[in-house]
Amino acid sequence: MDRYVHHELRAVYTAFATLAVCVPVTSGVRGAPMSAYGVGRFVLAMIAFTVVVTLLGATRLKWVGEIRDFEAAVPLERAPADGASLRRRPLNWWLFPVMLVPTLALAIAYAPWIALLPLWAALVWLGQAWLAAEWERRNGKVLWRGHDTDAPWKLSYSPGVLRGEAPAGTTPA
């Protein structure tokens, strides 16, 4: 099983790694993806889009709200061992080529600005990670993915350890 926040952050790191490859390669082959003024506007538009998507995700709206998914998570008796720790495995190695190949091909063959699109994905995933972390903090639970092998996207939760509290089954010092 994989902690939900770590899953989202792993996708963010992978998107930034894709961006780190695509921009220099595209710049070397086709020239700079945008002017300095254009990059600033592009990044500002991506941040505005991310804020809107994150705010919509913080609602309970049927198709866009993430909170309903968090609240529908099934309880676990205890927290599983985090087998895919973010520190030990910071990148999602199957997502990297899935993002890299089409982004690089389209940026070189069609339009150089496409090399900047992994930034959009990274910001959206960062917003989802923030939503999940905030929900975990408010509810004292930790969200997990992968408890159901037939539906690995379904969420579960375990009791979380809040700051200043001793884990269950231990005595505070």
What percent of the chain shows pLDDT beyond 90?
A: 44
Q: What single-letter amino acid sits at 63?
A: W
Give the pLDDT band (50/70/90) at residue 154: confident
Query: Which range in 30-34, 59-63, 132-136, 161-165 is most confidently predicted, on average pLDDT?
Result: 132-136
State residue 11's pLDDT score.
Answer: 94
Nearest in space to 86 (alpha carbons), one of 162, 167, 163, 11: 11
Q: Rounded CA gap, 131 and 154, in Å?
A: 17
With helix as H, strand as E and coil as C, how does 92-113 read? CCCHHHHHHHHHHHHHHHCCHH
State residue 35's pLDDT score.
Answer: 80
Cα distance between the two ends of the chain: 30
Give the pLDDT band (50/70/90) at residue 149: confident
Q: Choose the weakest-confidence range: 17-21, 109-113, 143-147.
A: 143-147
Nearest in space to 140 (alpha carbons), one of 125, 171, 162: 162
167 DSSP 8-state letter: P
**What distance lies between CA 51 and its chain's CA centroid?**
14
Check whether 76 has a pLDDT greater than 60: yes
Q: Rounded CA gap, 147 and 156, in Å?
A: 7
Q: Choose the weakest-confidence range: 17-21, 65-69, 117-121, 147-151.
A: 147-151
Structure-block tokens of residue 75: 């309880």
Check whether 128 has a pLDDT greater than 80: yes
